[in-house]
Amino acid sequence: MGDRRDLAAVHRDSGDARSVTWRGGSGSDLRDHGLDRKAPKPLNRVLRIPSIFGFARPRLESHAATMDDEPIELARCSRALGYPAGRSFWFLIGHSSTHRKPIPTMRRFLATNPHRFFAVTGMFLLASLAVSAEWSSVTRHSGWKQHSMRRPKPTVVVPADAPGQPPADAVILFDGKSLDKFETPGGGDPKWTLGDGYFEVKPGSGPIVSKNTFGDVQLHVEWASPDPAIGKGQDRGNSGVFLMNQFEIQVLDNFEAETYADGQAGAIYGQYPPLANVSKPPGQWQTYDIAFRRPRFDTAGKLVEPARITVIHNGVVVQNNEVIYGPTSWLRYDPYAKGPETGPIELQDHGHKVRFRNIWARPLPGRAAVDAVETAPIAVVSVPAEKLKSYAGEYSLNTRPNSPPLVVKAMGDHLMARFPNRVTEMKLVPIGDGVFQFTETDAKFEFSPDGKTLHFHIGGDTRTITRRD
């Protein structure tokens, strides 16, 4: 059904590196990019943009298709301002299987199709608000309905009394007394020096690694560089905290001392300088609070999601959820390679007597995946138009005088509701006698048989709302 000569833009996610491929002008064909040869299948969503100042009324429809065997969503635009009658163009809205970047940048599309500039800009001026509200919400969310009562609730964790101290579920890696949670990479006892409440690198003895291994993890580490300071540049209070023994958060004494940016304390070594230099003087205890999300690979070993690291140094964010290029390496960038899903915390011996204390970690759980019950189509029932209209009206959410109403309208075979001070109307579909379900929220309106009240069920609570007229 699509006019393939008008297929305009393709947006692909190759997994390990985002690649965006565009084709413009006549002759372009999404099939070049793995689009299934079957015609796109219309979805049941159509946007009609109101005519303004007598201009054309663009029409936007969404369609399901597959590309490289992945479900995608295409938008078809027709009747756009300045666009030839009977012609339409297509663009990719997003992968329904992912939630990233649902709406492609139009810049290159416009640049390669200058004759379409006015058509597209005219249409988008009219449609941008409606499109972003309608489609971004469809393609971006997790799949869980808002406020879903079926969504697993977080585990209760008792926090510590003071910042920096371990919460109840933390794995204590060093409590000031013993190095028995660490070993050498070969499995031997660490040779590092145990002091009063701390331990210290024994230069030349090699790194130590935690016996516990971690994937996604929150890690707290305290460290202090030698006092008085010795050396300069990278040869000054150098150590490091390696996550999954691959990704180094640099430990260095660069307090009032020069070195390169991506080798300073708090750097993701060789990749990202810290966002601020918050180093303390030699000998003073410093803190790292690290959040790490491990890289993900598919079963074939291909990277599907790079590692991410956040670092808070002495209470200041110095790494903000940075995307990691690959394992830490010196003088070059090494690519990712699939390995075990967890690895030890490694502390580096760089020949300097750096001290450590108060080390603890919390393995971080994954997000609960949405299931088939949650995403099953809503079992909609049919309601006579007159009955549907009887629910329309204004309702009071509270008893305050002059408070704006909840407005309910009948539209086609469903209801639309606009809450006070909200721009967007929400769709409710009938699922029973007088019962209407929100489409993207785990919530219901249940009208009383006399139509005078409605019960608003949401998040395990019920609010009773009265009709005004």
| Nearest alpha carbon to residue 306 among 247, 347, 368 | 247
285 burial level (CB within 10 Å; 0-12, 13-18, 19+): middle
Asked whether the beta carbons of 191 and 353 are under 8 A apart, the reply is: no
Name the residue whose CB lies closest to Mg ion: 240
Q: Cis omega (within 30 of 0) on the bond before 228?
A: yes
We find the least distance from the C-beta atom of residue 228 to Mg ion, in angstroms, to be: 20
Give the per-residue contact string, 304-343, with Mg ion (x = CB under 5 A; - = no): ----------------------------------------
341: its two tokens: 């899903």
We find the least distance from the C-beta atom of residue 239 to Mg ion, in angstroms, to be: 6
Nearer to Mg ion, 13 or 349 (CB): 349
Q: Please choose, out of 25-33, 65-73, 242-250, 404-412, the segment that lies near Mg ion by the rule CB under 5 A.
A: 242-250
We find the least distance from the C-beta atom of residue 241 to Mg ion, in angstroms, to be: 9
Nearer to Mg ion, 217 or 267 (CB): 267
Q: Please choose, out of 18-26, 76-84, 233-241, 289-297, the segment that lies near Mg ion by the rule CB under 5 A.
A: 233-241
Nearer to Mg ion, 88 or 250 (CB): 250
75: its two tokens: 């938008």
Long-range contact set of residues 31-35: C-beta below 8 Å, sequence gap at least 24: 31/4, 33/67, 33/68, 34/67, 34/68, 34/69, 35/10, 35/65, 35/66, 35/67
Instruction: Please identify which residue in 104, 240, 273, 327 interacts with Mg ion, judged by CB under 5 A.
Output: 240
Q: Which amino acid is at 355?
A: R
**C-alpha–C-alpha distance, residues 89 and 418, integer Å:** 33
We find the least distance from the C-beta atom of residue 190 to Mg ion, in angstroms, to be: 18
**C-alpha–C-alpha distance, residues 412 and 429, integer Å:** 10
Computed on alpha carbons and rounded to an integer, the radius of gyration of the chain in Å comes to: 29
Q: What part of residues 248-267 is at the interface with Mg ion (CB under 5 A)?
A: 250
329 burial level (CB within 10 Å; 0-12, 13-18, 19+): middle
Nearer to Mg ion, 252 or 428 (CB): 252
Nearer to Mg ion, 88 or 348 (CB): 348
We find the least distance from the C-beta atom of residue 27 to Mg ion, in angstroms, to be: 54
Q: Is 207 in the site for Mg ion (CB under 5 A)?
A: no
Q: Please choose, out of 91-99, 245-253, 278-286, 456-464, the segment that lies near Mg ion by the rule CB under 5 A.
A: 245-253
Instruction: Write out the residues near Mg ion by the rule CB under 5 A.
Output: 238, 240, 250, 348
